[in-house]
Amino acid sequence: MTRPEKLYTLFCVFFSTLTVIGNVTFQKFVTLPLGSFHTFTLSVGAIIYPFTFLVMDLMTEFFGREKASLCILLSMGMNVLCALLIFGMDSLTATAWSVVDDATFHKVYGLYGLAFFGSIVALYIAQKLDIVLYLWIRRFTHNRFLWLRSSGSTAISLFLDTCVVIGILTFFHILPRAEMGTLIIGSYLFKAFATFLSIPFFYLCVWAVRRFIFIPQHG
């Protein structure tokens, strides 16, 4: 296996892991204060979600549209598999001495299927849009302004993703409808803030790949 093939495999594994963990942990909501300026209200799963767009932008930059899209499909497949496995585990009866009883397990994981449905729809739409926007901005800027094509495509795609997934979860009454606006705003502001902070890291990743993996850019 060549270095580019190893890197592509690593990207796919990391991307799929982030999406699965985000779905499994979505029911826990927290507040994250940004000093005295603002307090974010969001799911703990949303904290790691901006990294999926960073990985997708790296894949698009070095491997092109087709392989980046394949990674999305692989991730969706992993989420389907996890949903089916969790559904099967939830249907089994816990022993009397089990540390986690049936009710607790179902409360934590029983809604994963619906979360998966909302996430998988948002994942496909937003990540595909991110790929299209990334490549369009790269062509429009004649392959300049790396920060613009990464942060610009991510900022737009993340907003759509946040609206879709929270909208679906509130539609099925998994999340309170009265909190929908607050959750969308809080989640998106955090993701946008995280995207802005990740720009130097994105530059570092691009430099490292170009320096050590020697992958030509694709159009």
Domain count, the chain: 1
- Residue-wise pLDDT for 16-74, tens only, equals 999 999 888 887 888 888 777 778 888 888 899 889 999 999 999 999 999 999 999 99
8-state DSSP, 37: T
CATH for 195: 1.10.1760
Determine, yes or no, domain membership for 116: yes
Q: Which residue has the tokens 């300049």?
A: 144
* Nearest CA among 216, 212, 200 for reference residue 146: 200
CB 26 within 8 A of CB 175: no
What's the whole-model pTM score? 0.87
Determine, yes or no, domain membership for 74: yes
Determine, yes or no, domain membership for 219: no
Determine, yes or no, domain membership for 218: no
- Residue-wise pLDDT for 111-151, tens only, equals 666 666 777 888 899 999 999 999 999 999 999 999 999 99
* 132: Cβ contacts below 8 Å, ≥ 6 apart: 65
Determine, yes or no, domain membership for 101: yes
Q: Which domain holds residue 15?
A: 3-212
End-to-end CA distance of the chain: 24
Determine, yes or no, domain membership for 217: no
